[in-house]
């Protein structure tokens, strides 16, 4: 079967029909509002002119101009999206041409031919673990054809085989291989139109503000126009929710359809293995970025970030005991022991299906690969290393360094990353028990010192499963609360294989909270048992007695952590008005009410700086930020404008405070677990 003969699924057709219906409904609603606005504009302009001509004096000229502008301002609001173009930021992209990369373009030619679509207008490289097709869009792009551009992430090409990259490109071009895909483009543009009128109003607000400032008489009609526009936005908000839901549904079907086209190009296996590996590939590149961010004060830079990415990907695979096949981690489906959620909600707002659903549909095509090229996709580049180094330099050129940059080589990075990993991870002897859990609060004075288990008993898989069961129970309750509070609008959901209506969410939450309470108590008692076991082990070792003090320090900090960290949340919440158009009196009032919270923040920062133990943990950048913030009382607003430099000092201090609190917490937890691991290495835990 050729790609052109692929049959659209019933769910795809249904989503397409629903999307078309949403477009028609929007058009009818919009045309109705436009006709009413046009009639209002004609009446207002006519009334304004008659008022001026009948009583030609200053006050009537102002009132007439204001009345005439009432309809005009509403028309401008309804039509402004036509003149708004959505341009994609290309600053992070590097354009390549056929003469630069002939092998890569040859592959693109082959995919374009097999998919029976058009060659992209331009081909770009990015640093990402992704591939995408984009174009600059506007209202008029719905009526005039626009050629698409292709972006290939070097982080992606660095993580997949040649056949896997070909499958991914087949997926991207698959989005445009069927004429029915045009519906998705229309729905997308309708969404952009509504979004423009709901949220992209800074220029419009500036226009009406300037017009209102000309005269108090004109401002009366401007306020009336704002009220009418608010009513229009209420209608559009309802339309946005409806249209967007249909678009998301269609988008998910488009993903399945594009996957099937990719399977026709290469067979389903290459796309399957690529989809499974993308998470670890992206996570590895992000880990590399985080490494250099953490070492920013040392001015470290890499010559090749993607070489670092490859190392980290294999490093993580080794730590997680993942098999390496053909030079890449062989990722299997999600480990069931960590997937403990029993809640299944059909997410109407997701633009992409889950990886599992995509793979299930891919396998169902039964389009097996005739041949697979396992060679690295990097081999398609004329000089992959040179390209990677160029993009690496481009990324680091965007970062400000206080001193001369220090470039580290491959071996230096690997050594430093190993140390970095140990610093920010927990000992493997605990089998991941503490990776997503902190020791519970308990009274360390009330211990028997009689309990003792083997290490295998303390951290066996059954115990680890309880940790993840608790995590998923808490997440399930949170999602069910979203249903109860109408933040997640669904009619039905499945739990533990049974179907429930949204009205059943409340009693289910009560039941799950009881389960959480029981399981939390079990794990708390287990944490206490761990403490008692290691206390006995310490007693029989040659080490000095310090386990008790480490637990005391951690539990004391843990007890106050939430309230201290909440200062960060409160400050950001109090400052959220800065992102909105706000009256001057309200701005001044908001900053006055912020003062009390600022005093609390300053006292907490002073407490951090006065503690020698904390000073060793806080970064150099954080100390400098704190010192600058505490150096004087900053003023953030004057007469009619914000003082951006002062606000930067404030937000820098707030964010560094949150990062410092998190780092201190991790440091105390690491110290405790590191010491326990040392006790194990010195003398294994004996059987009871």
Per-residue model confidence as pLDDT tens digits over 167-209: 999 998 887 765 555 676 677 777 778 877 887 787 888 888 8
Per-residue pLDDT, 664: 94
Give the span between the Cα atoms of 175 and 173, in whole angstroms.
5
The helices-and-strands tally (H runs, E runs) of the chain is 21, 13
d(CA 473, CA 495): 11
Mean pLDDT score of the chain: 87
Q: Which of 262-276, 445-459, 572-586, 592-606 has the lowest mean pLDDT?
A: 445-459
The residues, any chain, with a CB within 8 Å of residue 458's CB and separated by 6 or more, are 526, 529, 530, 533, 685
Average pLDDT over residues 154-158: 96
* Residue 104 pLDDT grade (very low, low, confident, very high; cuts 50, 70, 90): very high
71: left (phi over 0), alpha (psi -120 to 50) or beta: alpha
Residue 341, both tokens = 């959620």
pLDDT of res. 685:
47
pLDDT per position as a tens digit, 317-356: 998 889 999 999 998 875 555 556 777 666 554 567 888 8
Give pLDDT, residue 112: 92
Cα 102–Cα 104–Cα 106 angle in degrees, nearest 5:
65
**Mean pLDDT value of segment 118-134:** 90
Contact 222, 211 (CB under 8 A): yes
pLDDT of residue 83 exceeding 80, the answer is no
Query: Mean pLDDT throughout 77-85?
Result: 78
Confidence of residue 601 (pLDDT cuts 50, 70, 90): very high
For residues 8 and 257, the answer to whether their CB atoms sit within 8 Å is yes
**Mean pLDDT, range 143-155, rounded to an integer:** 82
Mean pLDDT on 473-501: 85
Q: How far apart are CA 591 and CA 576, in angstroms?
A: 11
pLDDT > 70: percent of the chain: 91
Helix, strand, coil percent content, the chain, rounded in steps of 5: 65, 5, 25
Q: Report pLDDT digits (tens) over 423-479.
A: 888 888 999 899 999 999 998 887 765 556 788 889 998 999 999 999 999 999 998
CA nearest neighbour of 268 among 361, 368, 169, 355: 368
Phi-psi region for residue 466, left (φ > 0), alpha (ψ -120 to 50) or beta?
alpha
Cα distance between residue 650 and residue 20, in whole Å: 48
What is the per-residue pLDDT across 624-666, written as a single tens digit (0 to 9) for each?
A: 999 999 999 999 998 888 999 999 999 999 999 999 999 999 9
pLDDT bin (cut points 50, 70, 90) of residue 687 is very low
Average pLDDT of the segment spanning 410-431: 91
Segment holding 468, helix H or strand E: helix 461-484
CB 654 within 8 A of CB 543: no
Element (H or E) spanning 641, and its range?
strand 641-642
In terms of DSSP H, where are the helices of 337-405?
355-364, 384-396
Owner of token pair 């206490």:
528
- Confidence check: pLDDT of 316 > 90: yes
HSE, side-chain direction, 13 A CA sphere, residue 628: 17
Tokens of 30: 């919009």
Q: The tokens 């020791």 sit on which residue?
A: 439
* Backbone phi and psi for residue 2, each to the nearest 5 degrees, phi listed first: -85, 165
Three-state DSSP class for residue 138: coil
Higher pLDDT, 107 or 241: 107
Q: What's the confidence (pLDDT) of residue 448?
A: 65
pLDDT for the residue numbered 349: 46
Q: How many residues does the chain have?
A: 688
């Amino acid at each position: 079967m050729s790609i052109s003969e692929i049959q659209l699924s019933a769910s795809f057709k249904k989503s397409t029909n629903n999307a078309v219906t949403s477009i028609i409904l929007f058009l009818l609603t919009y045309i109705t509002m436009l006709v009413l606005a046009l009639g209002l504009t004609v009446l207002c302009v006519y009334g304004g002119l008659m008022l001026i001509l009948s009583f030609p004096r200053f006050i009537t000229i102002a009132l007439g101009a204001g009345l005439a502008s009432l309809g005009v301002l509403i028309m401008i609001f309804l039509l402004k999206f036509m003149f708004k173009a959505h341009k994609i930021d290309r600053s992070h992209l590097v354009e390549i041409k056929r003469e630069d990369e002939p092998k890569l373009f040859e592959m693109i030619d082959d995919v374009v031919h097999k998919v029976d679509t058009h060659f992209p207008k331009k081909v770009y490289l990015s640093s990402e673990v992704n591939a995408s097709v984009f174009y600059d869009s506007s209202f008029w792009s719905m009526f005039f054809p626009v050629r698409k551009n292709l972006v290939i992430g070097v982080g992606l090409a660095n993580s997949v085989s040649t056949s896997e990259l070909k499958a991914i490109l087949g997926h991207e071009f698959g989005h445009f291989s069927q004429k029915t895909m045009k519906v998705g483009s229309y729905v997308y543009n309708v969404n952009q139109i509504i979004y423009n009128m709901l949220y992209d109003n800074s220029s419009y607000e500036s226009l009406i503000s300037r017009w209102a400032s000309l005269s108090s008489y004109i401002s009366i009609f401007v306020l009336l126009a704002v009220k009418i526009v608010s009513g229009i936005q209420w209608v559009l908000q309802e339309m946005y929710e409806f249209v967007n839901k249909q678009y998301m549904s269609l988008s998910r079907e488009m993903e399945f359809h594009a996957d099937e086209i990719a399977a026709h190009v290469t067979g389903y296996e290459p796309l399957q293995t690529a989809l499974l590996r993308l998470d670890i590939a992206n996570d590895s590149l992000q880990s590399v970025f985080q490494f250099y961010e953490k070492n920013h004060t040392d001015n470290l830079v890499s010559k090749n970030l993607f070489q670092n990415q490859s190392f980290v990907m294999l490093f993580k695979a080794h730590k997680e005991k993942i098999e390496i096949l053909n030079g890449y981690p062989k990722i299997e489906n999600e480990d069931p022991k960590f997937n403990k959620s029993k809640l299944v909600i059909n997410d109407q707002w997701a633009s992409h299906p889950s990886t599992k659903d995509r793979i299930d549909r891919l396998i169902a095509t039964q389009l097996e690969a005739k041949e697979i090229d396992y060679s690295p996709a990097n081999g398609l580049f004329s000089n992959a290393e040179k390209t990677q180094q160029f993009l690496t330099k481009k990324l680091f050129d965007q970062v400000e360094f206080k001193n001369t940059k220090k470039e580290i080589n491959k071996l230096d990075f690997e050594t430093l990353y190993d140390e970095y990993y140990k610093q920010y991870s927990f000992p493997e002897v605990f089998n991941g028990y503490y990776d997503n859990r902190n020791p519970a609060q308990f009274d360390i004075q009330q211990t028997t010192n009689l309990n003792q288990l083997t290490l295998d008993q303390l951290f066996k898989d059954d115990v680890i499963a309880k940790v993840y069961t608790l995590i998923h129970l808490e997440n399930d309750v949170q999602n069910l609360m979203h249903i109860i509070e109408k933040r997640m609008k669904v009619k039905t959901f499945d739990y533990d294989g049974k179907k429930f209506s949204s009205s059943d969410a409340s009693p289910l939450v009560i039941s799950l909270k009881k389960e959480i309470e029981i399981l939390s108590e079990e794990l708390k008692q287990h944490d206490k048992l761990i403490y008692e076991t290691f206390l006995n082990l310490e007693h029989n070792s040659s080490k000095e007695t310090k386990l008790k003090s480490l637990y005391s320090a951690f539990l004391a900090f843990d007890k106050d952590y939430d309230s201290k960290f909440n200062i960060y949340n409160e400050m950001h919440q109090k400052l959220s008005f800065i992102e909105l158009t706000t009256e001057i009196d309200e701005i001044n009032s908001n900053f006055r009410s912020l003062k009390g919270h600022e005093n609390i923040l300053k006292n907490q920062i002073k407490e951090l700086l006065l503690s020698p133990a904390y000073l060793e943990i806080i970064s150099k950048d954080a100390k400098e930020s704190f010192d600058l913030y505490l150096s004087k009382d900053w003023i953030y607003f004057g007469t009619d404008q914000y003082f951006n430099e002062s606000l930067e000092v404030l937000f820098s201090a707030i964010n560094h405070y949150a990062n410092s609190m998190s780092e201190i917490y991790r440091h105390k937890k690491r110290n405790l677990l590191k010491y326990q691991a040392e006790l194990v290495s010195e003398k294994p835990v004996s059987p009871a």
